[in-house]
């Protein structure tokens, strides 16, 4: 039986221990490594054989999980990423999707659900469980993003917009001009059938 090598990214010791215990107890899984800091994530990915990374949305006191996920998925041989988080809103799932996560699971789900999600994600299936009954508008936004033809850059820009970044702040984060940011925002909104940021946030705030 092929073992799924898992890298556990978690800065909360108790959560990290719990994940390690659960994963290690499975015959078809193994803990390849653990990381409690951002630099440790990439150090271990460069030296270990990892099939899947479990990472929280909030990491090191910030929403660094999204940034780490984007960096992992930008690597030449991107590892599967499972976003495992206590954040349950549909907009958080959307942000994870835009950051390239392969699956999204909230921490209020059962252990069985976690293990099944790990197995499904490892073989290329996407699993998105937010733990809440999503409002119609929030589901509609996720559906639009999934069915749209957003470029990678447009997806990144929409992710920053959802986090309330201004055009100038997005430009600084992506090392591009404000004019280019505006162009990406305009193109992305057109593809999503949105006229402005107010309509985008309406999907989030109604959830």
- Give residue-wise pLDDT tens across range 128-172: 877 654 444 445 555 666 656 778 788 778 877 876 788 898 898
pLDDT of residue 180: 93
Task: Please report where in the chains the tokens 């998105």 appear, as a residue.
Answer: 128
Q: 132 or 22, which is more confident?
A: 22
**CA 55, 61, 66, 72 torsion-angle sign:** negative
Do 33 and 8 contact (CB within 8 A), yes or no? yes
Is the full-model pTM beyond 0.75?
Answer: no
Over the range 69-78, which residues count as b (16 or more CB within 10 Å of their CB) and which as e? bbbbbeeeee
Max intra-chain CA distance, the chain: 53
Query: What mean pLDDT is reported for the chain?
Result: 82
Written as six digits, the tokens of 17 are 């221990």
Query: In percent, how much of the chain has pLDDT > 90?
Result: 36
Burial of 143 (0-12, 13-18, 19+ CB in 10 A): exposed
CB proximity list for 68: less than 8 A, separation 6 or greater: 9, 38, 41, 55, 59
From CA 82, how far away is CA 161, in angstroms rounded? 23
Q: ∠185-198-148 over CA atoms, to 5°?
A: 45
Written as six digits, the tokens of 50 are 């990892």
From CA 135, how far away is CA 90, in angstroms rounded? 8
pLDDT of residue 204: 47
DSSP reduced 3-state for 169: helix
Nearest to 36 by CA among 18, 57, 64, 13: 13
């Amino acid at each position: 039986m092929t073992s799924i090598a898992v890298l556990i990214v978690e800065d909360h010791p108790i959560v990290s221990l719990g994940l390690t215990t659960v994963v290690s107890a499975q015959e078809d899984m193994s803990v390849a490594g653990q990381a409690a800091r951002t630099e440790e994530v990439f150090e271990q990915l460069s030296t270990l054989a990892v099939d899947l990374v479990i990472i929280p949305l909030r990491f090191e006191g910030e929403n660094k999980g999204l940034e780490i996920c984007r960096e992992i998925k930008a690597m030449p041989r991107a590892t599967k990423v499972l976003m495992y988080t206590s954040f349950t809103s549909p907009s958080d799932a959307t942000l994870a999707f835009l950051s390239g996560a392969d699956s999204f699971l909230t921490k209020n789900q059962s252990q069985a659900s976690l293990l099944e999600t790990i197995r499904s994600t490892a073989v290329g299936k996407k699993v998105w469980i937010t733990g809440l009954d999503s409002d119609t508008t929030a589901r509609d936004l996720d559906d639009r993003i999934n069915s749209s033809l957003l470029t990678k850059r447009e997806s990144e820009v929409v992710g920053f917009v959802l986090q309330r970044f201004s055009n100038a702040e997005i430009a600084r984060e992506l090392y591009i001009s404000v004019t280019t940011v505006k162009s990406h925002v305009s193109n992305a909104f057109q593809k999503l059938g949105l006229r402005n940021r107010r309509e985008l946030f309406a999907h989030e705030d109604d959830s």
